[in-house]
Amino acid sequence: MPAQPALKDKHLVVGLSGGVACYKSAELVRELTRAGATVQVVMTEAATQFITPVTMQALSGRTVALSQWDSSQPNNMAHINLSRDADAIVVAPASADFIAKLAQGRADELLSLLCLARPSLTCPLLVAPAMNREMWAHPATQRNVAQVRADGATVLGPAAGDQACGEVGDGRMLEATELCDELIAFFQPKRLAGRTVLVTAGPTFEAIDPVRGITNHSSGKMGFAIARAAAEAGAKVTLVAGPVHLPTPRGVQRIDVQSAQQMLDVVLPLAGLHEVFVATAAVADWRPASITEHKIKKDGSGRPPALALVENPDILATVARLPEDQRPWCVGFAAESHDVVQHARAKLLRKGVPLIVGNIGPATFGRDDNTLVLVDAAGEQELPPGDKLDLARLLVAEIERRMSSLTLRSPEA
């Protein structure tokens, strides 16, 4: 089942102030519309020096608003009308000059006037700074950014890197895909606000020799989706990842490991610092008893070399057995080839955890979609088939519901 548009039914005003980063705004409008949003572009006069209103109109499908004196508005009040049905105003790029205007409450053209006149309770303001590194670091800019935040705006970025002037440093506007992800996250319910979540993802790799090893099928996509969904929900997330090639979700602290023992060594001291532990990693059950120093060569006999194996530590069970004051609320995963519910229930009892999430592994390895069933002491609940990120958000909602239920019951315990 294809993913539902993450910004479906959202109406966004995208404001462009003057700066070279306006070229990214064109791609941002495309990304937002692909995510299901309708977009109204507003440009300052300076922005039109970097990209044309014709381009932005073609991409948004709407006439670009340019002037507070636009007589096409029935009441001649574009600064009022444009924000009243908007779910948010996003200024990208936000130049140093425009941020100064916001901080001082100045309104000498349509975009700053629109930001000042917006109903702040229903139309939040987000700004994506874009400027030279020295301009960003200047005390005046930092004071203005602090004031804009204090006034309720959300500041997205900036990033560090190459700049149009040839210098390198902080001040780059986030990329269009990053800004779109930030907006999607902004609108997600903050179910886990203030919570801490530890996630394991991907396979482990158990070396046999310098070039070979034992591993499991796992792209890591489900675990990375859960880390992203938890961060979107307001949690502080730590992601312990086996060897995978996936970008780190924004706002997530990532620690890379290779083997099951390395994963345990990282997870164990972190477990007591987190309220929730979601073990999605496909940890190899066995590892070689010893690793040869050099690559094992075929000897022509047709017989493989003897390979002694030892069992790997059970990371989920180890965390679940921690003392109560150090034990997070644990969620395990069971990727099975058959009889998902039966095997997931056995794992639930064996590991001693409150929730196991089961799925048919071979049917979803490497894919962007999945089918999950939640198994706990009370029974089973099947989640609708869908995109892994959509399912991760549903799982986060389930975790929040169950933890809230425990919190409500705790005074009676």
The enclosing domain of 164 has a CATH number of: 3.40.50.1950
In this structure, the answer to whether residues 167 and 269 fall within a common structural domain is: no
In this structure, the answer to whether residues 139 and 232 fall within a common structural domain is: no
* Total count of residues recorded for the chain: 413
Evaluate whether residue 244 is within a structural domain.
yes
- Residue span of the structural domain in which 93 resides: 11-187
In this structure, the answer to whether residues 170 and 241 fall within a common structural domain is: no
Q: Tokens 């200047």, residue?
A: 138
* Chain centre to alpha carbon of residue 4: 16
Residue 121 · residue 152 · CB < 8 Å: no
In this structure, the answer to whether residues 338 and 386 fall within a common structural domain is: yes
In this structure, the answer to whether residues 175 and 61 fall within a common structural domain is: yes
In this structure, the answer to whether residues 204 and 132 fall within a common structural domain is: no
pLDDT tens digits for 206-264? Answer: 988 888 888 888 889 999 999 999 999 999 999 999 999 999 999 999 999 999 999 99
Residue 1 has pLDDT above 60, yes or no: no
pLDDT tens digits for 191-204? Answer: 999 999 999 999 99
- How confident is the model at residue 199, as a pLDDT? 97
In this structure, the answer to whether residues 207 and 119 fall within a common structural domain is: no
Q: Tokens 């560090």, residue?
A: 160
Q: Which amino acid is at 230?
A: A
Catalytic one of 123, 165, 180, 330: 165
In this structure, the answer to whether residues 38 and 129 fall within a common structural domain is: yes
CA dist list (Å): 10 to 3, 66, 114, 232, 353: 16, 22, 18, 17, 39
- How confident is the model at residue 361, as a pLDDT? 58
The torsion defined by the Cα of 161, 166, 167 and 171, in degrees rounded to 10, comes to: -50
Evaluate whether residue 69 is within a structural domain.
yes
In this structure, the answer to whether residues 73 and 171 fall within a common structural domain is: yes
Residue 294 · residue 209 · CB < 8 Å: yes
- Domain count for the chain, please give it: 2
Evaluate whether residue 116 is within a structural domain.
yes
pLDDT band at residue 410 under the 50/70/90 scheme = very low
In this structure, the answer to whether residues 221 and 368 fall within a common structural domain is: yes
Evaluate whether residue 295 is within a structural domain.
no
CA dist list (Å): 295 to 212, 216, 305: 8, 21, 12
Q: How many Å apart are CA 44 and CA 64, to the nearest integer?
A: 10
The enclosing domain of 353 has a CATH number of: 3.40.50.10300
Evaluate whether residue 63 is within a structural domain.
yes
Give which of 168, 176, 85 is closest to 133, Cα–Cα: 168
* Domain endpoint, select from 170, 187, 204: 187
The answer to whether residue 180 is catalytic is no
What strands lie across the sheet with 154-155, from one edge to the other? 38-43, 11-16, 88-94, 125-129, 154-155
pLDDT tens digits for 300-355? Answer: 787 877 888 888 999 999 999 999 888 999 999 887 677 778 888 888 888 889 99
Q: How many Å apart are CA 168 and CA 261, to the nearest integer?
A: 39
pLDDT tens digits for 32-81? Answer: 999 999 999 999 999 999 999 999 999 999 999 998 887 777 776 777 87
The torsion defined by the Cα of 202, 204, 205 and 206, in degrees rounded to 10, comes to: -170
Evaluate whether residue 301 is within a structural domain.
no
Structural tokens at position 329: 């609320």
In this structure, the answer to whether residues 377 and 246 fall within a common structural domain is: yes
Q: How many Å apart are CA 399 and CA 329, to the nearest integer?
A: 9
* Domain endpoint, select from 187, 204, 237: 187
Q: Tokens 């462009």, residue?
A: 16
* Domain endpoint, select from 187, 208, 223: 187
Evaluate whether residue 413 is within a structural domain.
no
Cβ burial, residue 334 (10 Å; 0-12/13-18/19+): buried
pLDDT tens digits for 104-147? Answer: 999 999 999 999 999 999 999 999 999 999 999 999 999 999 99
Evaluate whether residue 181 is within a structural domain.
yes
81-120 core/surface letters (b: 16 or more CB in 10 A; e: else): bbbeebbbbbbbbbbbbbbbbbbeeebebbbbbbbbbbee
In this structure, the answer to whether residues 213 and 351 fall within a common structural domain is: yes
Residue 204 · residue 242 · CB < 8 Å: yes
